[in-house]
Structures are given as C-alpha cells and as structure tokens.
Structure 1
Amino acid sequence: MARLLEPIDLSKLAEEGTEFRVDADFVRDNVKSDEEGEVSNSEQGIQQCNTECIGIFDEDVYEEGEPFEIIGKKMTSLVPNGKIKKRVIREGAGDKPTEYSMVKIHFNAYVEYDENPFDSTYMRNKPYGFIVNDGRVIAGLDFAVQSMKPNEKSQFLIHPDYAYGRNCSLGRVPSNATVLFEVELLEIVHSGAVLTYEKLPEDQQKEFSEIYKYCVALCERGKKSFSDRQYLKALIDYNTCAAKLEKVTLHYKDDIEKHRQLLLKVYTNLLICYTRNKEFRKACLNAKKIYDVTKNGELIKIHPKVYFNHAKCLRYLGEYDSAKTFLDKAHKMEPKNPEIANEMLNLDNDRAEHRQQEAIFAKALMRESHES
C-alpha cells in the first residue's frame, strides 16, 4: 500500500499535490498467491483498490491525491453540460446496454482526495446488478453504464446534480460532492422489457409492438439461462415467447416480417433446448414449425443447425432415413463442419447396429417358427 512521506495538509494539497512511494519490501512480503492459484487476502486488497490511486498502473492515470479538476481534463463529456465525464481504461466489445437492459457491474466509488472508496463491490466480492433506467442507482451512474460495452472498464466523474445532490445523507460523501466511479461492465442481459411489459394495461399487452419487445427480452433471458445450462428455465421463456407470437394479431404489413423472423428464432431455440434436454419428440415438433413458418426455406433461409439438431433427434428416435435426409442438408450447407461429420458417423454406426439387431431378431423368429 502507498505510504505518504509526510502528513497531508489538505489546504495545500490542491495547490501543491503530494509525493508518495511504494514500499517494495511490504509488497513483496504481503502479496502472495496460494498453491491453488487463488490470490491471498493481501493481493485481493490491492486488486480491489483503485490501482490508479496507489500508483500501480499501466496507463497514464492520475496520482494519489490528484484533484478531480485535473482528472477531468483527461476525460470527455457524456452530456452537453459536462456534468458527467468519462475516460476509458480498458476497451470493451459488443453492444451497449439498451433501455431496461439488466446489467451486472463491479465498481469503486470515491470522493475527492480520499484513496479509499466510500462504496465498492470489489470489497464486498459481489458484483451489483440492476436494470437500466429503473431508478435504483444515481442518475450519473445509470447514464454512465449505458455508454459502456461488455468487459469495458472506465472512470466517470459525476457532478452532484447527477449524484447525491446538495443534501447528501451518506456519511462518507459530503454534501454537494462530485464523485468518481470506476466501473467494470461484466454482463448485459437485454431482458428488462419483461418487467415493463408485465406492468402494462391488458389492452396494451396485446399490441404487437409491446409483444415484440417482450419476446425479444425473453429471448435474451433464455439465452443467458441456456449459456448457464439451465435448459428448463430457457424453455419456459422460449415457450412463453412462442405462445405470445402465435396468438398475436398483426395489423401492419411491416410487422409480418419481424413476426416471422422472431418466430423462427424462438422455434430454433426451442429445438436446440429440447435437443439438449433430450426431449427429442418435442424438438422435432419445433423443427416442423420452423419448416412451416419459413415454407421449407422459401421465405427465410433455414440455418444448418436446424437440420443438424433435427437429424440428431431423429437418430435418437430411430428414424434413420429421415435423419439422413436432414443431415445431408446440413452437410451440404457446411461441408467442413466437424460436428456434422461426427453426427454422420454416429448415424452410420447406429444404423448398422440397428440392422444387425434386426437380423438377429429375424433369425430368432425363423428359429422359433421351425421349432414350432
């Protein structure tokens, strides 16, 4: 931990700054990893601190005790009045949160001249999750997170008008204080619209525009459940989508294509989920729905993973000829796909084994008939 050479005189700090040094022996003696690769408590403490404040950094960052005014000069304004400023520490990749997305973040929050955060998810060792625009966090943080991409880490200076105001009741945050948030965006799940839809009046819930947003959000939540291997939870969301989309009344021509595209996505997800969950007949039922909604690929091109999963389910059901038909379609579209090639081997092996068992059964029947 950085040790100050002299006591801090706050009246001179803003004008003169301060000098600090890192005690190398202290760091060497206290920062160790255990045998299993998990960091020790002392190393966690360093990781959880604002590394820019303690002088451990890879980029051009502010030093301990540096006034927010100087930090702000390294930033860009996110709003015209300049009351929310940003500097990217680590670039992210992907789409930014949309309205009512569910996000999960890690953060350290600081007041000026204090190297210790007044709030920190790192210290609690638990990320914080909230829905964008639902009012659970200060306006500045809400706005800041919407400017980020997944895996991005950035710093934000937030004016009191967008933070805790002029009459702040938090013990460690002075009234009318600008605050610094260092935020890491860990995850985005675009499913917040699920909550808003469920609060709508019944008549409004029947509108395609609202159903569409609701189903897109459910698909995002289902995707997250699927990636966590929680297939039953994913199936509930996807089946809810299918039920809504199958019953909706379309009034505008422009909505027809959006409706068809989303139905295709939902049926495809159901096919894959049921395949993973080993409910092969239900998977095949959704494959048939895909062929119906696309008119066997005439309206919308069918992805090879549809044919692949359908063929796999048919193989498990013992319908080898049909399985080969769909697997050949997948192979034609992706001839170098190793999964498809492996499934073709599985199909040939299962088919050969089935024929062998049929031959044995036939011989046994013939033997019984001769003996009788």
Structure 2
Amino acid sequence: MASFKNALEGFKLKDLMSQDGMVFELGDDYIEEDEDEYHYKPGVTLNSDEMIKMINMEDSDGEEDDEAQNMIFTIGFETLKEKMSDISPNRDGKVLKLVKRKGTGDIIPHDAQVTIHYIGYLEHNDEPFDSTYAHGRPNSVRLNQGQLLAGLECGIKTMQKHEIAVFIVSSDLAYGKFGCPPRIPPNEDVLFVVHLFDFIDNGTLGTFENLTPEEKKMFCHVAKRVNDMLNTARASYQRHNIKMAIKEYKIAIDWLNGTVLKNEEEEQEMNKLLTKAYTNLSICCNKMDMPRLACVACNKSPEKTVKTYFNHGRALLKMGEYTRSMQMLQIANKMEPRNPDILKEIQLVNEKQRKYLDAEKRLWSKCLNTSKNQENTTDIQIAIRDLCDNFARDDGLLRQPLPEGLTPEEEGCIREYAASLNIHVTEHERMGTQRLYLNKSNY
C-alpha cells in the first residue's frame, strides 16, 4: 500500500525505495482550473426553456421579474417593454432594461474595460443571432471605443459588477435600417441578456498598462488591484459562488507574493492584505469541504487572527484531528472569550472526540480478548462496523484516524467493511509516526 507524504514536511530515502510506492501531498494547489461555471459549449444554441433558465440563473430581485421572464418568448416586445425601465439617454424608449440579478459596487465608469457574457435574440425567435457562450469564453471590450452597438453599450454603462440584465434595443441604436443580412432583418429591434463579470476603470487600467514590469510589482500599484480583487471575491462568496471566490482570493495572493516592498510600512500593509486573503480563502475551502487546503491557507497567514485559528480548528475537525483542532479553538477562545461560534465549535469537537473514543474503546475491548472463538470474532466485526458506520454517517467528518496497533487480520477486516461503504483506508505519516485513517471519497 502506497504511503502518503506531505512534500513540505520532507521524506526519507527509504520512502522512495519502498516497494509499495509513495504519494506526495502538495499543499499549494488550492483548486483545479474549472471550466466556465455554466458549461456552455461552442455550437450549441439554446431553446426557449433553456434561455429562460439562463436568464433566471439567480433568484429574481423584483416582484414582477418571474412573470416578465416567462413572457419573453410567448409575447411580443411591446408587451414585454411594459415591464422594463427606460434607460436611453433621451428617455425616448430606445433602450429598455430589466434587472434579473442586482450587482455589487459602483456603476461602471464611462470608458471602462468590461468582461461580459451576452446572448442576442430577435423577437419571437428562440435561436440567438449572437452569443459569447457559443464562442466559448466571455468577451472583454473597452467602452466608448465604438466596439459595441450603441444601444448595447448604453445599457452596459448602467450595470454593476456581477449584474445580469435584459435589454431591448431599438433598431436605430442596433443594426439600423439595413440590418445585418441574412440573420438580422432591416429595422429590427433586438433583445440582449448581459452578464457583467468584471470591469477595470480606464484610468486605473491605463496607468497600470503603461508601467514598466518593475513598476507593476511595486506595492503602491499592486495594493489597489488587490483590494478590488478581494471585494470581487467577497461578492462571489456572498452569491454562493465559492469556487470563483477561491480563484479570486488565490489571484490576490499571487499578486501580493510577487510584490516588491520598499519599507517596513509597506510590508505591514501587505501582511494585513495577505492575512485577509488567506483567512477568507480558508473559510471558502472549509465551505467546499477542502480542509487540507484550508489548513495550508491558515498556516501561510502572516498574522494569526481569531478567524485564522477558528477556521484552522474547524478544518482539523473535518480531518479527524481532534486534539489539534481543540488546541486551535482554545487559542481562538482565549483571544475572544465567550464568542458563541467558538464555544459551539469547541462543544462539537468534544462531542465528536468522545464518540470516537467510545467506539475505539469498544473495538479495543474486543481486540484485547485473546479468545479465538466465533463469538469474539463476531464482536470484533460488530465493533468495526460501528466505527465505520458512525464515520460514514457523520457529514462533518471527511477523515478519521484508526486505533494504533491493529493486527493484520483486524486491519483487513476494517478495509473490507470500509470498502463496502465506499470509504478508503490510507496511511499517512505525521510527526514521524505512521497512522491509518478512514477517508471519504471526496477527501
């Protein structure tokens, strides 16, 4: 059986020469690079039901939004317009808007660079005439540079980061009296569904793009980008898009780790930002049941806060490290006494550890019985099943240690029953001691 080694903790030559092999655990991989969240594929168009589902990706913010959404493909634009707001510059109804999901932060600056997904539709036609999803990636364009239809750009300028909105654009602010044959007829109004992922203020962008490679690493230039990214990650977390938040916190951390500091004051400011990023990253990792990565983030935090110790303790609990979990939580409790969340987590650790020790005690009481009769063998099997069953039913545990000193026969019995529950038995070395653990498939 291959043994697991943490590459950061080192290994011995005999480990490499082992006949069973060795598996490295790498702590710096926060998350795999996933594809686009909604998994649209090139060349695939959306029917009306799929389009409605896409438009309503998040809960509606207005009382009438659901009704309006279901009307998009069943009635004409004129009726739909009654549900929309006029945002055209002259308030002449040439650009109308319906917010499907509110955004966060400020309205887009006049000439920002935006990253958007959009789908364009004609009236009574459930096949889009244009879609960035069909291209396989969002579109990044600079506003006020003539890169978009005038009406579409007018609508985008009213949006916030992460907003999803529906726009109806009059023909004279879209494709005009000639249209765009063969897909767009002359004098045709169009509908766009736009998802604004991000934007960069043109002033900030222009300043940063004009910097030399050395200047781009200076903390005074990096700090603003990092703060913007931390705000974006926080908004992703609030929208329950935890995977995206993890990626965004990792980007902020990478930017900070590549920063060149000129004095102690900048170092202190950078450490504050790193602490915030690593702590929030650990929260996200715990949320996604990735406790090992949460521990890595907590260990790398330059300034250990109450939240750092709390989330470190929570991660260790998921890994079945009850003693170490309690140590972290006690430190957090000392720093912030009577915090109800910390006290609740301490109580949870006590309950799970007591339950585990009781199961371990029952197992050892059977194992220490030297009698080899059928009755004793059955008792051992029952104790093993109780230990594995309790672990399998506990959604808060992803890993749990097995008692030390098991005989090969007892270990084999555990492996056999654990396999029937889709639970793995793995060997890890911690502090120079080999331990067997029960691991769930998602650990």
User: How would you bin the TM-score normalised by the shorter chain?
Assistant: 0.5 to 0.7
Contact preservation (8 Å) 2:116, 2:138: yes
Q: 2:102 aligns with which of 86, 89, 93?
A: 93
1:25-72 superposed Cα distances (whole Å, 9 cap, x missing partner): xxxxxxxxxxxxxxx968669999x97686538xxx6159xxxxxx79
Letter in 2 for 1:105: Y
What are the within-5 Å matches in structure 2 for residues 95-174 of structure 1?
95=104, 98=108, 99-108=112-121, 110=122, 115-116=124-125, 119-120=128-129, 129-131=138-140, 133=142, 137-148=148-159, 150=162, 152-157=164-169, 160=172, 163-164=174-175, 170-173=181-184
- TM superposition shift of 1:311: 1.4
- TM superposition shift of 1:309: 1.2
Q: TM-score, normalised by structure 2?
A: 0.46
Q: 1:311 to 1:231 in 2, by over 3 A?
A: same
- SS at structure 2 position matched to 1:87: strand
Alpha-carbon distance in 1 for matches of 2:87, 2:200: 29
Give the aligned partner of residue 278 of structure 1.
Answer: 292
- TM superposition shift of 1:122: 7.8
Alpha-carbon distance in 2 for matches of 1:351, 1:320: 15
Q: 1:320 to 1:205 in 2, by over 3 A?
A: closer
- TM superposition shift of 1:322: 1.9
- Higher relative contact order structure (alpha carbons within 8 Å, sequence separation ≥ 6): 2
Q: 1:154 to 1:44 in 2, by over 3 A?
A: closer
Letter in 1 for 2:297: A
- SS at structure 2 position matched to 1:312: helix
Alpha-carbon distance in 2 for matches of 1:314, 1:336: 14
Q: 1:282 to 1:103 in 2, by over 3 A?
A: same
Give the aligned partner of residue 33 of structure 1.
Answer: none
Alpha-carbon distance in 2 for matches of 1:339, 1:180: 57
- TM superposition shift of 1:278: 1.2
Alpha-carbon distance in 2 for matches of 1:258, 1:78: 44
Give the aligned partner of residue 324 of structure 1.
Answer: 329
Give the aligned partner of residue 12 of structure 1.
Answer: none
Contact preservation (8 Å) 2:309, 2:332: yes
Alpha-carbon distance in 2 for matches of 1:46, 1:93: 17
Give the aligned partner of residue 23 of structure 1.
Answer: none
Contact preservation (8 Å) 1:235, 1:273: no
What are the within-5 Å matches in structure 2 for residues 50-65 of structure 1?
56=75, 62=78
Residue 263 (structure 2) pairs with residue 243 (structure 1): no
Letter in 2 for 1:154: V
Q: 1:347 to 1:267 in 2, by over 3 A?
A: farther
Q: 1:148 to 1:320 in 2, by over 3 A?
A: closer
- TM superposition shift of 1:151: 5.9
Q: 1:183 aligns with which of 192, 195, 211?
A: 192
Contact preservation (8 Å) 1:242, 1:263: yes
- TM superposition shift of 1:147: 1.6
- TM superposition shift of 1:343: 4.6
Residue 51 (structure 2) pairs with residue 76 (structure 1): no
Give the aligned partner of residue 215 of structure 1.
Answer: 226
Alpha-carbon distance in 1 for matches of 2:342, 2:293: 28
Q: 1:207 to 1:128 in 2, by over 3 A?
A: same
1:285-329 superposed Cα distances (whole Å, 9 cap, x missing partner): 234x133xxxx5xxxxx54xx332111345555525522314536
- TM superposition shift of 1:187: 5.6
Letter in 1 for 2:191: E
Contact preservation (8 Å) 1:314, 1:320: yes
- TM superposition shift of 1:202: 1.7
Give the aligned partner of residue 67 of structure 1.
Answer: none
Letter in 2 for 1:183: F
Q: 1:324 to 1:266 in 2, by over 3 A?
A: closer
Question: What is the aligned length?
Answer: 292
Q: Please identify which structure carries the higher strand content.
A: 2
Contact preservation (8 Å) 1:133, 1:142: no
- TM superposition shift of 1:229: 4.0
Give the aligned partner of residue 303 of structure 2.
Answer: 290
What is the aligned-residue RMSD (CA, Å)?
5.7
Contact preservation (8 Å) 1:89, 1:153: yes
Contact preservation (8 Å) 1:100, 1:131: yes
Letter in 1 for 2:309: Y
Give the aligned partner of residue 29 of structure 1.
Answer: none
Contact preservation (8 Å) 1:106, 1:184: yes
Q: Sequence identity of aligned pairs in percent?
A: 15
Q: 1:334 to 1:172 in 2, by over 3 A?
A: same
Give unpaired runs (5+ residues) of structure 1: 1-39, 65-70, 297-301, 365-372
Give the aligned partner of residue 313 of structure 2.
Answer: 311
